[in-house]
Structure 1
Amino acid sequence: MGYLPAGIWVIASGVITYGLYVGADIFAPFALAVFLWLVIEGFARLMQERIPKLPRWLAQTSAVLIVLGIALTVTLIFIDGLNDFAKNAGAYEARINEILTEIYARFNIFTVAPPDLSRMLFNEENTKFVQPILDSVQGLASSFVLIMIYIAFLFLAEKNWPTKLDNIFPDTKTRSQAREVGHQVRKSMEEYLWVQTVISGIITVITYITLLILGLDNALFWAFIVFFLNYIPTIGSIVAAFLPGLFALAQPEWPAYMPTDATLNALIVLASVSIWQFAIGNFVQPRMMGESLNLSALVVLVSLAIWGALWGIPGMFLSAPLTVLMMILFAQIPGAHWLAILLSADGHPVKNKPIAAKDDSENVSSA
């Protein structure tokens, strides 16, 4: 037992944080590759459980093809959605300029002329704000090939991990405990990713049907935006609810059964999407998530800000599972166990004893 000196923790945390920030172009794609690899491995094991005679190599190959097929389908949907926006860009811009004029008139702002959309988006100040987001998205897209290479090498290196683990932990008891910790890390990560994917899928399907009924343009595109944003804890679900509502303000035409007031339509879209986010996020997700995300709400929010600052958009997507990983690892270090307790929601980060700790029964027998 005993706490490591605070100065050591401050220095170590600073060095590690700086390293993660400087090496974001290397570490962020690798982290994404690891979590995608876990999804693929989970797929492969699920197929082997359902079809016991299925060879492992065939299960892994099938899982890779399924994931790549899903990724290709999503990419095509996004491209089609962007093309649809481009075709109707003139109508959307005219509607937004009309809204800006109405706002200036409603609030009696007569000292200056209402700005148009082009001047608002492409002025120097807004460009500085939007450019980092665009750079992060572009960097993530350009790292796709690197992520695929990482995944391939993770599969190649998988068969040698047991041997390496045996050499790192020659003591049988310590090795067994290390295996248990590794199993717990893997189980927590896979459970979180699977549950989050299922929840996001349910919300996406319901949101798509809702937006289709309401008559929102490009409903499939917005449904998939909602799907991906739901991987970002807390903030993602809020943004996912607001984006379709904001776009509804700019939609020039609506079905005949919808109100003629665009503002009212936007509120209907916002309320409809928010209801599903609230209901599933507060009643279904906690039951399915179980103990895989044993983090306090404050820690989730802080980790989102920290990982987002370090790695941008990839860090925001991975903030929750990375923090769970840190909590599990801290719980195995006697001097850092208190950090794991602070990160956990219930004060019990893991059930395993720290690897470095000696078993009480062993101490008694040796006495």
Structure 2
Amino acid sequence: MGQPMNVENNDTANTAKLRLPVVRDVSIVATLMVLGLYAGSAFLIPLTLALLINVLIIALSDRITSLTRVPVWLANIAGVTVVLAGLFVIMYILGSQATQFARSINTYEAQFDGAVNRIAGLIGSDVTSFIRDNLISIDMSYVARVLLGSATSLLNHFFLISLYVAFLMAERLAFRKKIQLAAGDPKTGAEFAAILDAITNSLQRYVGVKTFISLITACISYSVFKVLGLEYAETWAVLTFALNFIPSIGSIIAVIFPAMIALVQFESVGPFLIIVLGCGTLQFMIGNFLDPAMLGRSLNMSTFLVILALTFWTTIWGLIGAFLSVPLTVCILIVFSHIPALRPIAILMSLDGRLTEDQRASAGST
């Protein structure tokens, strides 16, 4: 009886010894990857943006082909033209009006103290003192420079991103064949193709739906800004469109900035309340009802993971990392779900523990 117990103890000890090198190697690889992402951000950010834009163009060209029955090459040209022209307009507005706003930010800071006093009767002196002590201490010029710097950086990289997109579209059809040839084994090639298909489908759905929802939100908000006569209405509309891609806090920031400008610009608090209550309610309704209804459970990401990914990618790549946090994490989740050794991590990253292929298998069995 004693010998089997010794064998079992030896197996347990060997398993523990094997796990330590694995944990060590995984930690080293993860650390090197994080350092590589940080050090190579100047190269990786334009490439990542180009890949996401390429996914959006493919989704748009496929939709054009299905609706109009035009040739694929013509649909690809139309998709590239529409997406890149839209991105150029967005970055041009940010680059032009944001520069003017950055120059006049000191004027707004000087007038903000008087504007806070206008809402003292609505919210009480204690809250007014808190706002004065905390919001006025915020260096708005620094915030404006950060936003302007990000917009300028994107504008400077626009040509490089466009070049990446052009070559990616040119090799769209040949890329799948090259994967099959590079894999050698047909089974391995099929697995790679399945991973790419899953990533492409999830990203197409996410980027397409978020672009549509953000465009609706930006158009409605822009209408409100123009009716009120808010300064730099185009800039706030573009920021509303862009910030909706940042999970959780993006929609809040999209309301705070124009509301603060309205508080300074107008003598009454009416426009401020319209933006806070009207646009805030719009963001809440879209974020809690329309967004989940259109995206459904296709992403199936844990809410905590979304916040964690937002923090991580913002720390690594700054503001642009915040925009890319969800798409990048979706890619990681899908890749992990197709690797048996990393599948438990993918299950922990998911919302309900069911991965995409599990849901498809259960749907097929029923």
- With normalisation by structure 1, the TM-score equals 0.79
Kindly indicate whether the alpha-carbon contact (under 8 Å) linking 1:32 and 1:314 is maintained by their aligned counterparts in 2: no
Pick from 278, 289, 297: which aligns with 2:284? 278
CA gap 1:214/1:42 in 2 versus in 1, 3 angstroms: same
Mapped partners of 1:101, 1:273: distance in 2:
23
Name the structure 1 match of 2:43. Answer: 26
**CA distance 1:132–1:92, shift in 2 (3 Å):** closer
CA contact (8 A) 1:332 1:352 kept: no
Q: Give the equivalent residue in structure 1 for 2:331.
A: 325
Q: Does 1:186 align with 2:203?
A: no
- Give the corresponding residue for 2:301: 295
Residues 239-271 of structure 1: CA deviation (Å, up to 9, x unaligned):
112111111111145xxxxxx3x3x54233212
Q: Report the more deviating stretch, 23-32 or 157-166.
A: 157-166
Indicate yes or no: 2:55 matched with 1:38: yes
Check the 8 A contact 2:94/2:151 in 1, yes or no.
Answer: no
Which deviates more, 143-152 or 154-163?
154-163
Give structure 1 stretches of 5+ with no counterpart.
Answer: 108-113, 254-259, 354-367
CA contact (8 A) 1:37 1:151 kept: yes
- The 5-angstrom pairing of residues 32-181 of structure 1 reads 32-52=49-69, 54-78=70-94, 81-82=97-98, 85=101, 92=108, 95-96=111-112, 98-99=114-115, 121=139, 134-181=148-195
The 1:75–1:163 alpha-carbon spacing in structure 2 relative to 1, beyond 3 Å, is closer
CA gap of 1:285–1:205, structure 2 versus 1, over 3 A, is same
The match for 1:360 is none
**2:224 is equivalent to residue 207 of structure 1:** no
Q: CA deviation at 1:317?
A: 0.7
Greater per-residue helix proportion: 2
How far did 1:149 drift?
A: 1.4
2:274 to 268, 271, 274: 268
Mean CA deviation greater in 177-186 or 73-82: 73-82
Match status 1:16 vs 2:30: no
| From 7, 20, 23, the counterpart of 1:6 | 23
C-alpha contact (below 8 Å) 1:41/1:63 kept by paired residues: yes
| Aligned-pair CA distance for 1:285 | 0.7
Q: Which amino acid aligns with 1:221?
A: T
Q: Kindly tell me: are residues 307 and 83 of structure 1, through their superposed partners in 2, closer, same or farther at Cα, counting changes over 3 Å?
A: closer
CA distance in 1, matches of 2:327, 2:200: 11
Q: Kindly state the Cα deviation for residue 349 of structure 1 after the two structures are TM-superposed.
A: 2.6
Change (3 A) 1:87 1:135: closer
Q: 1:88 to 1:175 in 2, by over 3 A?
A: closer
SS of 2:171's equivalent in the other structure is: helix
Structure 2 residue 317 is the aligned partner of structure 1 residue 311: yes
Distance 1:323 1:68 in 2: 24
Q: Distance in 2 between matches of 1:62 and 1:203?
A: 25
In 1, are the aligned partners of 2:310 and 2:322 still within 8 Å (CA)? yes
Q: Secondary structure at the match of 2:356?
A: coil
Identity %: 32
The alpha carbon displacement at 1:82 in A equals 4.2
Q: 1:205 to 1:11 in 2, by over 3 A?
A: same
- Using structure 2 for the length normalisation, give the TM-score: 0.79
- CA 1:8/1:76 → structure 2, altered by over 3 Å: closer, same or farther? closer
The answer as to whether partners of 2:61 and 2:76 remain within 8 angstroms in 1 is yes
Q: Is the 8 A contact 1:189 1:292 kept in 2?
A: no
What is the RMSD of the two structures over their aligned residues, measured on CA atoms?
A: 3.2
SS in structure 1 of the partner of residue 279 of structure 2: helix
Matches within 5 A, 1:327-342: 327-342=333-348
Q: Cα–Cα, structure 1 residues 82 and 131, in superposed 2: closer, same or farther, change >3 Å? A: closer
Work out which of the residue numbers 182, 198, 214 in structure 1 matches 2:212: 198
| Aligned equivalents of 1:75, 1:132: Cα separation in 2 | 15
Where 1:346 maps in the other structure, the secondary structure is coil
Aligned-pair CA distance for 1:327: 0.4
Indicate conservation of the 8 Å contact 1:140/1:314, yes or no. no
1:277 Cα deviation from its structure 2 partner: 0.5
The 1:167–1:60 alpha-carbon spacing in structure 2 relative to 1, beyond 3 Å, is: same
Query: For 2:79 and 2:263, how far apart are their aligned partners in 1?
Result: 41
Q: Equivalent residue for 1:343?
A: 349
Shift of 1:16: 0.6
State how far apart, in whole Å, the 2-side matches of 1:233 and 1:345 are. Answer: 16
Q: Structure 2 regions of 5+ residues with no counterpart?
A: 1-17, 120-124, 127-132, 360-366
Count of paired positions? 329
Q: Partner amino acid for 1:151?
A: V
- Of structures 1 and 2, the one with the larger relative CO (CA 8 A, separation 6+) is 1
